[in-house]
Amino acid sequence: MHATWYAILAAMLTAWAVLDGFDFGAGIVQRIVARTDEERGMVLAAIGPVWDGNEVWLIAAGGVFVFAFPRAYAVAFSGMYLAIFMVLWLLVFRGMAIELRGQIPHPLWRTGWDGTFTLASTVLALVAGVALGNVIRGVPIDRTGWFHLDLFALGGVGAIDAYTGFIGLVAVVLLAAHGAAYLTWKTDGELRERCVAMARRAWAIALVVTAGATLATGFERPDLLAALGRRPWVWPAPAIAVASAVVVLRALGRGADRRAFAASSAFIASLLLATAGVLYPALLPSTLGRELDITADAAASGHHGLVLGLTWWIPALLLAVLYFANLFRSMRGRVRTGEYGH
């Protein structure tokens, strides 16, 4: 049962990365592709109906984490306390920027909140990538079962070091490309043309840095490549990533905007699921020895509780999927105004 909940947690975090990822990406590229106040409003209107719903996947994934793997949750959150509070404050400021931007029609007011939106979105993408880098590389869990990480490390293991910082930058570039692909699908006119140009450039860079991240991970954790070779059930994920990369570039060149966004989503999802597949059963690897890893089987709740939880999680997931399907169906079409409100 712990393997099932490991897969559920990985899937929910992947859903958050794909859905909230295009929100982050839209914020990262907003000041580049949108040149007027009206166009910046159109960017916000494109994500307006969905951004807060997308963030629910992160909250839900946190609930699954604490329910299914309470020991891993306690260790991770205590060891990364400062980083988690940074994320919470960034989410608050980003939400404030989206909601307050249109309250006062003054250029300084709107420019200030637009800058806050871009800064918070960029730093959130960076922090998400750094967090992923820490999970891949591992953290210094010792024989007490706990760890402490300094925020920065010039030599040794830190929350932000050479490897995790690079993964964070990769996340910024990749989500910028993802967000530009989404805006290409949802906007029109000159703004869409600039989004297309931005998406094509960003995706070209994203594919290069993603390949670099794969090589860096191979040097940092060669055992993960060995695990990939032993697990044929993971092989479809990297194959889908390669195919999606081809599709997104061709679709952007041919004006197939919805196909480009779908391929962008598939690329990100396949990368994250492949990462989860080679990391299993580790939830938090230890840099001090594989025997100190916090694994899914060791950190899981009791079997009876996990079975009971699954009976509640399945209908809840179906309701969430139906809600999001209806939401995206109701907001189909391109944004043609810069006004967003509830």
**In the structure, what pLDDT confidence band is assigned to residue 173 with cuts at 50, 70 and 90?**
very high
- The verdict on pTM exceeding 0.85 is yes
Rounded to an integer, what distance in angstroms lies between the CA atom of residue 20 and that of residue 122? Answer: 12
* Residues 203-228 pLDDT 10s: 999 999 999 999 999 999 999 989 99
Whether the per-residue pLDDT at 336 is higher than 80: the answer is no
Whether the per-residue pLDDT at 263 is higher than 50: the answer is yes
pLDDT number for residue 340: 58
Whether the per-residue pLDDT at 342 is higher than 50: the answer is no
State both tokens at 177. 């490309």
Give percent of the chain with pLDDT exceeding 70. Answer: 97
* Residues 266-313 pLDDT 10s: 999 999 999 999 999 999 999 888 899 999 999 999 999 999 999 999
pLDDT number for residue 318: 93
Give percent of the chain with pLDDT exceeding 90. Answer: 70
Angstrom CA distances, 5 to 20, 145, 296, 309, 319, stand at 22, 22, 9, 10, 19
Scored b (16 or more CB within 10 A) or e, 35-65 reads eeeebbbbbbbbbbebbebbbbbbebbbebb
Phi/psi for 295 (5° steps) reads -105, 165
Whether the per-residue pLDDT at 178 is higher than 70: the answer is yes
pLDDT number for residue 86: 85
Task: Give which of 253, 272, 271, 251 is closest to 261, Cα–Cα.
Answer: 251
pLDDT number for residue 120: 95
pLDDT number for residue 18: 96
Higher per-residue confidence, 63 vs 340: 63
Higher per-residue confidence, 156 vs 173: 173
Whether the per-residue pLDDT at 341 is higher than 90: the answer is no
The answer to whether the beta carbons of residues 251 and 181 sit under 8 Å apart is no
Whether the per-residue pLDDT at 195 is higher than 90: the answer is yes
Most confident of the ranges 50-54, 69-73, 109-113, 174-178: 174-178
Whether the per-residue pLDDT at 153 is higher than 80: the answer is no
Rounded to an integer, what distance in angstroms lies between the CA atom of residue 140 and that of residue 76? Answer: 11
Phi/psi for 139 (5° steps) reads -125, 160
The answer to whether the beta carbons of residues 22 and 182 sit under 8 Å apart is yes
* Residues 11-20 pLDDT 10s: 999 999 999 9
* Residues 33-45 pLDDT 10s: 999 989 999 999 9
pLDDT number for residue 83: 80
Whether the per-residue pLDDT at 251 is higher than 70: the answer is yes
DSSP state of 284: E
Whether the per-residue pLDDT at 133 is higher than 90: the answer is yes
pLDDT number for residue 103: 86
pLDDT number for residue 337: 67
State both tokens at 201. 């450039």
Phi/psi for 152 (5° steps) reads -120, 150
Whether the per-residue pLDDT at 64 is higher than 90: the answer is yes
How buried is residue 98: exposed, middle or buried, by Cβ count under 10 Å (0-12/13-18/19+)?
Answer: buried
Higher per-residue confidence, 104 vs 153: 104
pLDDT number for residue 155: 63
